C-alpha cells in the first residue's frame, strides 16, 4: 500500500496489541519514550527495553513494560511501531505500507474511511520518520571509519560483518559497546531534551565525534549494524565486502 491507499483503523483501547510483540526501537523512540514518562534515557533503557535499548521490553505475562491497565503509559511518546500499528512500513526505494494481522481478541476495527496518509498523519508518525532519516546520516560516518580501521587483508569481510550482526543482535552476553550505549542513552552523553531538533542535532554531533575517535573496527561495525536495524534499514548484506 502507499499513502493514497484506502485505509482506516479505530482503536478501541483494549490493549491487546500491547502484548507479545517484538518492537524495535530507534534512538529517537527511546528519547521520546523517556520524555513522555518523565525519566532519563538511561532509566528508559533500563526499565522499558531489552537488547541495550533497541527492543521494547515485554513482561513475563506478555504485556509491554509501558502498559498501565489497558492503556499505554507513554502514549504521547509511544514508539513509531506503536503509532503505525496496525500498519507496518517497509523502506526500499519507495515507502510501502503493509497491514498487520489483528492481535488475538483485539477490539480494533479496520476500515476504508480514509487513506493511509490520513492515518499516519493523525498518529504523528512524521517526526519519527524525519528523525530516523537524520540518524541514517551516521551510517556514512561509520562506513568511513570502518574502512579506515578494519584490516580486510587479515579479516574476511563477510565474516567480519557476520560477526558484527551477531554481536549487534545478541540479547545477552555481548561485549561492552559505548557507541551503542550512547545511541540509546542520549542523556548519558550530555544530550538532554532541549527540543526535538536541537537534541537530535547535539546527539548526532556527539555520536559522530565518538565514531571518529574509535579505532576498534569490530566495535564500530556492531554499533553500525545496531543503528541500521534500529532505524529500519537492512544490516550488512552478505554479498558485499565492507558495506552496511
Q: Which residues bind ligand SF4 (CB under 6 A)?
A: 18, 64, 66-67, 72, 74, 78-79, 82
C-alpha cell at 177: 559497546
The residues, any chain, with a CB within 8 Å of residue 127's CB and separated by 6 or more, are 196
Residue 80 or 146 having the CB closest to ligand SF4: 80
Least distance from C-beta 17 to ligand SF4, angstroms? 7
Least distance from C-beta 66 to ligand SF4, angstroms? 4
Mapping DSSP onto H, E and C, the string for 157-223 reads HHHHHHHHHHHHHCCCCCCCCHHHHHHHCHHHHCCCCCCHHHHHHHHHHHHHHHHHHCCCHHHHHHH
Q: How far is CA 32 from CA 36, 81, 169, in A?
A: 6, 13, 23
Place of cell 542523556: 187
Place of cell 479505530: 10
Least distance from C-beta 224 to ligand SF4, angstroms? 26
Residue 22 C-alpha from the chain's centroid: 11
Least distance from C-beta 183 to ligand SF4, angstroms? 19
Residue 64 or 120 having the CB closest to ligand SF4: 64
Number of H helices and E strands in the chain, helices first, is: 10, 8
Residue 83 or 145 having the CB closest to ligand SF4: 83
Length of the chain (residues): 244
Least distance from C-beta 39 to ligand SF4, angstroms? 14
Residue 25 or 191 having the CB closest to ligand SF4: 25
Residue 132 or 177 having the CB closest to ligand SF4: 132
Least distance from C-beta 18 to ligand SF4, angstroms? 3
Residue 82 or 222 having the CB closest to ligand SF4: 82
- Round to whole Å and give the CA distance between 69 and 65: 11
Least distance from C-beta 10 to ligand SF4, angstroms? 15
Residue 22 or 194 having the CB closest to ligand SF4: 22
User: 5 in helix, strand or coil?
Assistant: coil
Pick from 21, 108, 102, 104: which is nearest to 67 by CA? 21
Amino acid at each position: 500500500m502507499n499513502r493514497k491507499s484506502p485505509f482506516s483503523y479505530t482503536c478501541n483501547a483494549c490493549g491487546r496489541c500491547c502484548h507479545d510483540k517484538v518492537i524495535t526501537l530507534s534512538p529517537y523512540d527511546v528519547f521520546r519514550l523517556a520524555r513522555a514518562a518523565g525519566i532519563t534515557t538511561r532509566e528508559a533503557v533500563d526499565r522499558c527495553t531489552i537488547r541495550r535499548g533497541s527492543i521494547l521490553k515485554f513482561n513475563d505475562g506478555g504485556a509491554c513494560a509501558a502498559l498501565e491497565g489497558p492503556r499505554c503509559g507513554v502514549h504521547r511518546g509511544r514508539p513509531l511501531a506503536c503509532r503505525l500499528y496496525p500498519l507496518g512500513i517497509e523502506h526500499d526505494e519507495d515507502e510501502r505500507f503493509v497491514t498487520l494481522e489483528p492481535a488475538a481478541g483485539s477490539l480494533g476495527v479496520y476500515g476504508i474511511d480514509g487513506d493511509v496518509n490520513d492515518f499516519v498523519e493523525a498518529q504523528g508518525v512524521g517526526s519519527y520518520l524525519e528523525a530516523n532519516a537524520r540518524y541514517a546520516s551516521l551510517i556514512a560516518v561509520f562506513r568511513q571509519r570502518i574502512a579506515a580501521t578494519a584490516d580486510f587483508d587479515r579479516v574476511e569481510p563477510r565474516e567480519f560483518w557476520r560477526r558484527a550482526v551477531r554481536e549487534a543482535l545478541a540479547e545477552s552476553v555481548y561485549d561492552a559497546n559505548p557507541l551503542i550505549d550512547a545511541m540509546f542513552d542520549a542523556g548519558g552523553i550530555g544530550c538532554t531534551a532541549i527540543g526535538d531538533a536541537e537534541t537530535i542535532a547535539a546527539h548526532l554531533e556527539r555520536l559522530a565525534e565518538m565514531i571518529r575517535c574509535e579505532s576498534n573496527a569490530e566495535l564500530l561495525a556492531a554499533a553500525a549494524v545496531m543503528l541500521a536495524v534500529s532505524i529500519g534499514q537492512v544490516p550488512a548484506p552478505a554479498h558485499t565486502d565492507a558495506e552496511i
